Amino acid sequence: MATGLWRTLAFIGTYVRLNLQAALEYRVSFWAQVFAMALNDAMWVAFWGLFFARFPTVRGYEFRDVVMLWSFGAFSFGLATGLFGGCWRYATQVTQGALDFFLVLPKPVLLHVIVSRMSVSAWGDTLFGLGCFLVLARPSGEELALFLLLSVFGAVLFVSYGVIVNSAAFWLGNADGLAEQVQGALLTFSLYPGSLFSGAVKVVLFTVVPAGIVTWLPVGLIRQWDWGMATVLVAAASASVGVAVGVFYAGLRRYESGNLLAMRS
Partner 1 sequence: MATIELHRPRGPLAELGKYGAVFSTTVRTQLAYAGEMALRTSFLVIILYVFLQLWQATFAAQGATAIAGFGVAQMVWYLALTEAIVMSRPRLSGILDEEVRSGEIAYRLVRPYAYAGYHLAAHAAERGLRFLVNLAVGTALALLYVGPVAPSWSGVPVALVVAALGALIDFLALFGIGLLAFWIEDTSSVQLIYSRLVMLLGGMLLPLEVFPEPVGSVARALPFSTMVYAPARLALAGGDAAWVLELLARQAVTLAVGGALVWLLYRAAARRVNVNGG
By C-beta, is 14 or 181 nearer to partner 1?
Answer: 181
Q: Does 36 bind partner 1 (CB under 8 A)?
A: yes
Span interacting with partner 1, options 7-15, 38-46, 91-99, 247-255, rule CB under 8 A: 38-46
Q: Does 58 bind partner 1 (CB under 8 A)?
A: yes
Site string for partner 1, 177-216 (x = CB under 8 A): xx--x--xx--xx--xx-xxx---x---------------
Q: Does 128 bind partner 1 (CB under 8 A)?
A: no
Would you call 15 helix, strand, or coil by DSSP?
helix
Number of residues in contact with partner 1, rule: CB under 8 A? 35
106 contact partners, CB below 8 Å, separation of at least 6: none
Among 1, 2, 50, 105, binds partner 1 (CB under 8 A): 50
Helix (H) / strand (E) element for 37: namely helix 27-54
- In one-letter notation, the amino acid at residue 100 is D
By C-beta, is 147 or 192 nearer to partner 1?
Answer: 192
By C-beta, is 21 or 140 nearer to partner 1?
Answer: 21
d(CA 43, CA 65) in angstroms, rounded, equals 17
From the CB of residue 231, how many other CB atoms can be counted at a distance below 10 Å?
A: 10
Q: Does 70 bind partner 1 (CB under 8 A)?
A: no
Q: What is the distance between the terminal CA atoms of the chain, rounded to a whole angstrom?
A: 32
Report CA 152 to chain centroid distance, whole Å.
10
Among 39, 103, 203, 235, binds partner 1 (CB under 8 A): 39
CA dist list (Å): 216 to 27, 207, 219: 35, 13, 5
Among 19, 33, 151, 215, binds partner 1 (CB under 8 A): 33
Would you call 81 helix, strand, or coil by DSSP?
helix
Number of H helices, E strands in the chain: 14, 0
Interface residues with partner 1 (CB under 8 A) are 26, 28-29, 32-33, 35-37, 39-40, 43-44, 46-47, 50-51, 53-55, 57-59, 177-178, 181, 184-185, 188-189, 192-193, 195-197, 201
